[in-house]
Amino acid sequence: MPKISPSKREERRRQILKAAVSCFARRGFHQTTVEEICKAAGLSPGAVYRYFPSKGEIIRAVAEESKKRNLELLRSALSEGPVGEVALSLLRRYFQMFQEGSPEVAIVDMELLAEASRDQPLAASVAEMLGQLLQVAASLVEEAQRRGRLRADVEPLAVAQVLVACFQGLGIQKALGIQVDIDAYAHVVELLLSFLLVEA
């Protein structure tokens, strides 16, 4: 049997995870079967189990992909422009992601949070993801304070938690099918942020 190249393995892995996200968004983690994921991916059970020994492993891999997606978004925003502009750049990137992205991703992110309350290993993974997001966001706030661009009397972690809550809340509304004017939502959050900025 010929060996599969690393690139082909990664392509196959992503094929399975994409199918899993679609199934999880429709039926939830507990109602979805591995057989349904196999059918959606167009693969045999043996092929899927070669990459993921159980449905739990698939769920944890979906959580890891969510973590990578959010951290990459944060880090790409942090690499651009003066610190004073990064927060708004990040904000716009998030809103653009929600505007253009599939509602399936938002639905599965909600599933992950709910499942984490019952699955200790998943809870640890989700907590780590949120912790990293908050740490990066809080460091952004601290840097802005050091440069005199942000009020010094606000706790960086608290600011980070409020901003992350804004993004999570938007994801919940999208997952529930609530119509949100993204531009108007972004404008309101920008106004809230402006109260923290120090006038030049």
User: Domain extents for the chain?
Assistant: 1-53, 59-194
Residue 53 has pLDDT above 80, yes or no: yes
pTM here?
0.73
The CATH homologous superfamily for domain 59-194 is Tetracycline Repressor, domain 2 (1.10.357.10)
Would you say 21 and 106 are in contact if contact means Cβ atoms under 8 Å apart?
no
Banded pLDDT at 14 (limits 50, 70, 90): very high
CA distances from 16 to 74, 95, 147 (A): 26, 27, 46
- Whether 1-53 shares its CATH topology with 59-194 is answered no
Higher model confidence: residue 4 or residue 124? Answer: 124
- Residue 172 tokens, joined: 């919940």
Strands (E), the chain: none
Question: Tell me, what's the pLDDT at 64?
Answer: 86
- 55-78 vs 120-146: helix crossing angle, rounded to 10: 0
- The predicted-structure confidence for 67-95, as pLDDT tens digits, reads as follows 787 777 766 666 655 544 555 566 666 66
The CATH homologous superfamily for domain 1-53 is Homeodomain-like (1.10.10.60)
